[in-house]
Each structure stands twice: as C-alpha cells, then as structure tokens.
C-alpha cells in the first residue's frame, strides 16, 4: 500500500514538474519585453532591404498614424487592393506569385476527398512549408501555436512576435531579410483599433531605430496583406438559415440537399459548397438574412450576384491580351455600379457588346465601397484556392461568420474577409521610393523582389 502511494506521489510530482517546465518555457518564448533586443539591431550592417508584412493592417490606420507624424521615415503609403475573399491564404498567394493553397482558412473542404479537413489541430504541429508556398519567402515566421494563442493573450503574443523578429533580423547576414508579423491580425480581432495602434507605434519605434542606426543605408518596405474593419461585430446565423431553407449542413456532400458551410475563423465572408442545382436557389435566398451584403456564384463562365438591391451578372472576355468586363444589371444594382457604368459608356469606353477594359473599371472603382469588384469577383471563382467555393457570401461591416464556440469565447472588435473597401484595402510604403497611389496585390510582387 505504501509502495503504491509512493508511486502515485512520484507520478504526480513528475506531472507537476512537466507543467512547471511548460510554463517556464512558455513565459520565456513569449517574453514581451523587446527593449533589450532593440540594442542588438546595430549588429546587422549587412541587410540592404528589410521587408515586413503586418497581417491585416488597413491603409486608413497607417494613413491616420502618418498624419500624426508617425512612420516619418517612409514615403506616402499606397492603397493595395487585394483579392476576394480578403484572407491571408488568398491574398498572400497573389502577392508572392506563389502556389495555390488548399483552402481559404486552415479548416477547409477538400473537393477531391469530399471531406472537411484541417482546423484547430493544424495549430498544434510545426508548419510544413511546401515548394512554392508563400511562406517560403519569409526569413522569420511566428511559430504556429502562437497563431492560436494570440486570441488568449493578444498583447503578450504580439509583442513577443516583434521580439523574435528583432532577434532574427539582428543576427541575419542576408542582403534581403523578409518577415511576416502575423500576430497583428489576431490582436486586432480582440483589441480592435486601440490595440492595433499600440502595436504599430511600437513597430514604428523599432523601424526608426533600425533605419537611423544604418544612417539610411537600408531600404525598409512595410505592407499588409489585406484590410480590416474595426467595430464590435455580431454573428450571422447562416447555418440555421440554411437548415430552415430545407438544406442539410454536413461535412460531406452525400445527396442533393447537402451543403458544406465553412465555419472556422470569425470573418466577414462565408464559403458554401453544394450541388450544381442548388447554387442559384441558395444565392437568391441568402441576402434576406440580416448581415448578408450579397452572394455570388459562377455558372457557364458568368458570375451571378444577388443582393438586397437586386441581381446582376459579370462577364469577361479577352481581346488582344486585354481583359474586358461587362456589368449587366438584371434587377436593381447590387454593386451600386449603375452610375459608373453609364459614365464609362458615355465616355465611349464600352464596345458594341457593353464590355469595358479592365483598366477603365479599375480607375473608376478604385475608391468605391465595392472596390475593383468585377475583376476580383471573377478571379474569386477562377481557381484562387485548390477547392474553390460554389457560392461566396460577403457580409456587411459589423457582422461575421464562423465557429460558434469561438464567438462565445471572445468579443470580436473587428474582422475581415468581405469585398467591401474596409476589408479590401491594405497598404504598401517604402523608405526609399514612392509607389502609385493605388495598386493591385499582384503588382506588389515587383517591389518585393
């Protein structure tokens, strides 16, 4: 009996020791004090180009900080209009001209396997970077487990992310050093605009220290992979709506009423997979739900859009290597493009069939709430990820879709994913050069080489 008690005590002590070691390890690797690391940046006298991507930071936030005399070492920030859905997996693939990713998020539907895969378990393993993956361009990446922990300890995780970046840069001997500060996105979901500005001001101090310690003998490029809408948000009950409409929401497609609804991150878009005959029916019905802005699907190379304001379709053709798009209103005007269409037509930009060059659409819509929508929506159904959705839903600002459990754990003070300009406009700026005021995400590639 005594021997059994002793064995149990040893097991308990060993367990407590493992917990203690884990806590010490966690505290060490999430040390938020990067002041000491700042002193070591002068060790790096080799790097000539420092490239930093801050996940999800919107153009308007950087512009507001610049107006308050922050980021003084940089030229004017350009608006970067990114792909839809405005998710890192999608936009970073375009920015870095990388191989397609499997899905929009870490949990996704695999069409070949007819099964939902990935999810939380992905954050418990070491990141596997395959050839062509956009992650291969970074010399420093936040460890995968912290991508999830950011929602529990946002400030600590984000500041420790900056600390690890500083240490990696300080010891680098590369001519070009590239980093991805991914924790900014999670921090903004939980702490909103206040948290974003706090971290960005800390980053500004770091970059000023690096820039002026090198006496300008380094170019620093700072950019984001998508925008972000700040504000307390509420969940859209898409799953309940689909069930009440007679569909069965499941993890595979097994009959004509089956629907796959991706529900993972708390974001302002939703992806649906279903049978071909259900596309129009679902897309027509969904916009009546509170919080839904519009839905879209592709059929026979035509993109159909349904909103509370009506229905329209997008057509595309290519003439002499020039892309042309046609916005055809069926009823109402879901993208609020009617006035733009009439103006461009009046200016003689449309051909005999009503198609207008992509460059003209871009110029006319680059500051519109539905910024650059025709090209972005057409691309969204043209193989942006390995398993493109059958229906994409864009939500209004102030609403999100995602995992119900996650939404109960945290209060959401902002999100991204939708087609709206608040979500779709990132930024790019450099200490060495001016860039056009508006560029698309695929144009960033030339600057980041």
435: helix, coil or strand?
A: coil
50 by DSSP, 3-state: which? strand
Asked if the structure places residue 57 within a domain, the reply is: yes
* Contacts (Cβ under 8 Å, ≥6 apart) of 381: 296, 297, 298, 303, 388, 389, 392
Q: Do residues 205 and 264 both lie within one domain?
A: no
Most trustworthy range by pLDDT among 26-40, 117-131, 344-358: 344-358
> Which pairing describes strands 248-249 and 234-235: parallel, antiparallel, or unpaired?
unpaired
Residues 279, 207 within the same domain: no
> Are 319 and 334 spatial neighbours (Cβ–Cβ below 8 Å)?
no
Q: What is the pLDDT of residues 211-226, one digit of tens each?
A: 998 888 999 999 999 9
pLDDT of residue 338: 97
Name residue 319's beta-bridge partners: 322
In this structure, the answer to whether residues 337 and 431 fall within a common structural domain is no
Confidence of residue 118 (pLDDT cuts 50, 70, 90): confident
Assess whether pLDDT exceeds 90 at residue 96.
yes
Measured CA to CA, the distance from residue 163 to residue 40 in angstroms comes to: 11
Does position 32 have pLDDT exceeding 60, yes or no?
yes
Q: Which two tokens stand for residue 335?
A: 């993208």
Same domain for 444 and 321: no
Summarize the confidence of residues 1-7 as an average pLDDT.
62
* 21 pLDDT higher than 50: no
Q: Where are the alpha helices (DSSP H) in 30-131?
A: 35-38, 59-67, 88-95
Considering the domain architecture, whether residues 329 and 244 belong to the same structural domain is answered as: yes
Specify if 31 maps to a domain: no
* Pairwise CA distance, residues 181 & 56, whole Å: 10
In a domain, 104, yes or no: no
Q: Report how far residue 42's alpha carbon sits from residue 166's, in angstroms, rounded to the nearest whole number.
A: 11
**Are both 320 and 333 inside the same structural domain?**
yes
What separation in angstroms does the CA of 313 have from each of 109, 178, 328, 369, 430? 26, 40, 5, 18, 38
Residue 211's domain is classified under what CATH number?
A: 3.40.720.10
In a domain, 69, yes or no: yes
C-alpha span between 441 and 431 (Å, rounded): 19
Confidence (pTM): 0.91
The two three-digit tokens of residue 37, written as one number: 């690391």
Average pLDDT over residues 182-209: 95
Residue 130: pLDDT band by 50, 70, 90 thresholds?
Answer: confident
**Are 252 and 418 in contact, with CB atoms under 8 Å apart?**
no
pLDDT in tens, 57-94: 999 999 999 999 999 999 999 999 999 999 999 999 99
Residues 6+ apart with CB under 8 A from 12: none
Does position 195 have pLDDT exceeding 60, yes or no? yes
Average pLDDT on 120-125 reads 55
Q: Which residues contact 34 (CB under 8 A, 6 or more apart)?
A: 159, 160, 162, 163, 166, 202, 206
Residues 57 and 196 in one domain: yes
Domain count, the chain: 2
What integer pLDDT is reported at residue 159 of this predicted model?
Answer: 93
Separation between Cα atoms, residue 260 and residue 239, nearest integer Å: 10
Mean pLDDT of 248-256: 92
CB atoms within 10 A of CB 194: 10
The answer to the question of residue 94 being in a domain is yes
Looking at the fold, whether 397 and 441 belong to one and the same domain comes out as no
First to last CA, the chain: 70
- Segments in 30-85 forming alpha helices (H): 35-38, 59-67
- Contact at 8 Å (CB) between 122 and 144? yes
CA distance 251 to 113: 11
Element (H, E) at 294: strand 292-299
For residue 116, tell me if it sits in a domain.
no
Task: State the DSSP H helix or E strand holding residue 9, giving kind and residue range, or none if neither.
Answer: helix 2-29
What are the backbone dihedrals phi and psi of residue 301, each rounded to the nearest 5 degrees, phi first? 65, 15
Distance set, CA 300 to CA 95, 201, 427 (Å): 28, 49, 35
* DSSP assignment letter at 267: B
Query: Do both 59 and 193 map to the same domain?
Result: yes
Share of the chain above pLDDT 90, in %: 76
How many CB atoms are closer than 10 A to CB 43?
Answer: 12
Does 156 share its domain with 86? Answer: yes
Highest mean predicted confidence (pLDDT) among 6-15, 119-128, 309-318, 409-418? 309-318
Same domain, 382 and 396: yes
Do 370 and 253 belong to one domain? yes
Q: Which residues pair with 363 in a beta bridge?
A: none
Q: Which pLDDT does position 97 carry in this prediction? A: 94
In a domain, 21, yes or no: no
Instruction: Establish if 184 belongs to a structural domain.
Output: yes
Domain, as residue range, for 373 = 234-412
Tell me: the pLDDT tens digits for 291-342? 999 999 999 999 999 998 899 999 999 999 999 999 999 999 999 999 999 9
């Amino acid at each position: 009996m005594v021997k059994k008690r002793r064995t149990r005590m040893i097991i308990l002590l060993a367990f407590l020791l493992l917990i203690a070691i884990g806590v010490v390890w966690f505290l060490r690797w999430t040390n938020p004090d990067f002041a000491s690391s700042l002193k070591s940046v002068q060790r790096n006298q080799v790097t000539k180009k420092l490239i930093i991507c801050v996940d999800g930071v919107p153009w308007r936030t950087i512009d507001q900080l610049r107006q308050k005399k922050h980021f003084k070492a940089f030229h004017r920030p350009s608006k970067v209009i990114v792909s839809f859905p405005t998710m890192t997996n999608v936009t970073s693939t375009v920015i870095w001209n990388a191989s397609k990713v499997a899905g929009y998020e870490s949990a996704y539907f695999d069409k070949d396997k007819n099964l939902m895969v990935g999810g939380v378990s992905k954050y418990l393993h070491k990141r596997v970077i395959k050839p062509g993956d956009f992650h291969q361009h970074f010399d420093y990446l936040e460890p995968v487990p912290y991508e999830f922990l950011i929602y529990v300890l946002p400030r600590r995780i984000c500041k420790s992310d900056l600390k690890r970046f500083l240490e990696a840069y300080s010891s680098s001997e590369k001519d070009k050093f590239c980093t991805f500060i991914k924790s900014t996105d999670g921090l903004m979901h939980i702490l909103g605009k206040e948290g974003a500005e706090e971290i960005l001001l800390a980053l500004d101090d770091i970059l000023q220290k690096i820039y002026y310690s090198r006496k300008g003998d380094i170019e620093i490029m700072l950019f984001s992979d998508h925008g972000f809408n700040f504000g307390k948000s509420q969940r859209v009950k898409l799953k309940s709506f689909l069930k009440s409409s007679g569909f069965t929401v499941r993890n595979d497609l097994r009959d004509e009423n089956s629907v796959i609804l991706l529900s993972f991150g708390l974001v302002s878009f939703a992806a649906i997979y279903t049978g071909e005959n259900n596309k129009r029916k679902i897309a027509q019905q969904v916009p009546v739900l509170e919080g839904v802005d519009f839905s879209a699907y592709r059929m026979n190379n035509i993109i159909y859009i349904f909103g509370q304001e009506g229905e329209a379709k997008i057509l595309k053709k290519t003439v002499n290597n020039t892309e042309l798009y046609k916005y055809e209103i069926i009823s109402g005007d879901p993208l609020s493009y009617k006035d733009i269409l009439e103006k461009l037509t009046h200016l003689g930009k449309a051909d005999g069939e009503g198609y207008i060059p992509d460059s003209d659409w871009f110029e006319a819509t680059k500051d519109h709430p539905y910024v650059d929508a025709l090209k972005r929506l057409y691309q969204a159904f043209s193989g942006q990820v390995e398993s493109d959705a059958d229906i994409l839903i864009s939500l209004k600002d102030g609403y999100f879709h995602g995992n119900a459990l996650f939404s109960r754990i945290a209060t959401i003070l902002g999100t991204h994913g939708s087609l709206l300009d608040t979500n779709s406009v990132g930024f790019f700026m450099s200490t060495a050069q001016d860039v056009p005021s508006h560029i698309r995400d695929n144009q960033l590639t030339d600057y980041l080489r």
